[in-house]
Amino acid sequence: MINIKKSLAGLLLALLFTNAWSVNDTIILNSEIYAEKISADLDSLVNSWYVKLALEGHPDDFMGDSAGIEYPDTIYKARISKIYSLIKLPYNSIIRNHIHVYTIRQRKQFSAVLGLSDYYFPRIEDIFDSYGLPAELKYMAVIESALNPNAVSRAGATGLWQFMYSTGRSYGLTINSLVDERRDPIKATHAAAKYLKDLYKIYNDWILVIAAYNCGPGNVNKAIRRSDNKKDYWAIYYRLPRETRGYIPQYVAAAYALNYYTEHRIKPLPLNIPVATDTIMVTTDIHLNQISEVMHIPMGELKALNPQYRTGLVPGSSKPFSLTLPMNHLGDFIDLNDTIRNYKPDIYLSRINQTADPTRSTYAPPDVKGKTKLIYTVRDGDNLGFISEWYRVGLSDLRYWNNIYRNTIRVGQKLAIYVDPSKADYYSRVTNMTFAQKQAMVGKTAPSGPAMSFIQMAPEGDFITYTVRSGDTIWEIVKQFDNVSASDVLQLNSISDASRIKVGQVLKIKKKS
């Protein structure tokens, strides 16, 4: 390990003297990209039903102290060393940056994660214990999804454990237009436990297991082969995909934040998730709306407890499926079973023909009432992840609306997208925008009414200009342009501190030939 550290230090020093800007830029850029991913996950969590309900009832808990506390490296290092873990937890400046995401930059949202951890962690620990897995692997669920079972990544990974379609299916999860068990916290955790156990059989090293979970065993194996067959994470670090290099720092930061949040004056958001729940197997079709309206249980609560049912329909007639209910409602559900099934069956239990023209969506889903339907024409270079981000819709919804089961789309294909009517004018322009203009929309709040352009495409000599918006960073901006680096933009605009760009500031972007 000492030799490895020396070799890494030597490599960094050599690079530093040969190209100081690019090394610093790369390290900061990678750290920011990972931090922004965490921030995006935490922001999306705030939209979940129990969290929104808690924010309405406890705004002071969420909006209390927001200053945050930054400690010296010696304190972070000492605290991490005291965390009980079979997995060795290192410390460095990159890990410190990720700690600050949880404890300073996104501390309010992290309080929601803490509230959810009281509900999910005991269940995860129980399942992991049954498979003989270290309980501290539970922290992976925080960096995968921020404990949001409805989380969907740009690449289509879904659920608490962010399974891709093929991996989820291979571990026994049902995935179709009605049911996506990647969103079922219990079944997905069993699948994750099996996958982690299989990975440990390959590597016999938990850090490599965590890395392989993120990027796949194929990428880890390639990194090992290219590193003289060294089976050590830090020895193969620079051979791993960039995202995976940040995964271990994220993991350590999450472990730290979940163990030392009180030292940072962060309080768990009190969530009214029923701790006492039970499941019952359903062998005929039933809709969550039927249960909600007959039993007077909020639909949001039923969907939060049963996130795997994409439309609310539990298709028990095809095979038995589980239904999760608060324990105090289970007896009433059994007593009212016939009444519930006979309540508005023509409305809630009709199966809709989901065959569709492969180039145009004619399927009308049942859960888009009040939305405006737009048509997007697929262009070269598009993928479903990009399109879902441009329109700010869920990737799984985009697939469902268009009867798409994987990620394959074709140039010229027409996709149906359902949006808020007040923002329809804004989104109706997307299909005619350039790629750079569409990327400029990512992560931004859509205004009601006419769309606005934040990229000025009219040339200014050899430059185009970009107007900084709220939430922008240099690294997000440069991703919208081909062959432009953060250092290019900073140097061209005489900016010495990348964190000090301001909303409304006009940046010059050099056009590349």
324 φ, ψ to 5°? -100, 130
What are the structure tokens assigned to 255, written together? 């472990």
Report the distance separating Cα 398 and Cα 389, nearest Å.
10
Instruction: Compute the distance between CA of residue 234 and CA of residue 89 in angstroms, rounded to an integer.
Output: 12
Closest C-alpha to 218, from 234, 201, 241: 241
Q: How buried is residue 161: exposed, middle or buried, by Cβ count under 10 Å (0-12/13-18/19+)? A: buried
For residue 104, with 0-12 CB atoms within 10 Å meaning exposed, 13-18 middle and 19 or more buried, which class applies? Answer: middle
CB count in 10 Å sphere of residue 369: 7
Q: What is the rounded radius of gyration, in angstroms, for the C-alpha atoms of the chain?
A: 24
| Amino acid of residue 80 | I
Q: How far apart are CA 138 and CA 122, in angstroms?
A: 9
DSSP symbols for 267-311? --------SSEEEEEE-SEEEHHHHHHHHT--HHHHHHH-TTBSS
DSSP string, 117-136: HHHHHHHHHHHHHHTT--GG
| Active-site residue list | 144
Residue 215 CB partners (closer than 8 Å, separation 6+): 240, 241, 243, 244, 247
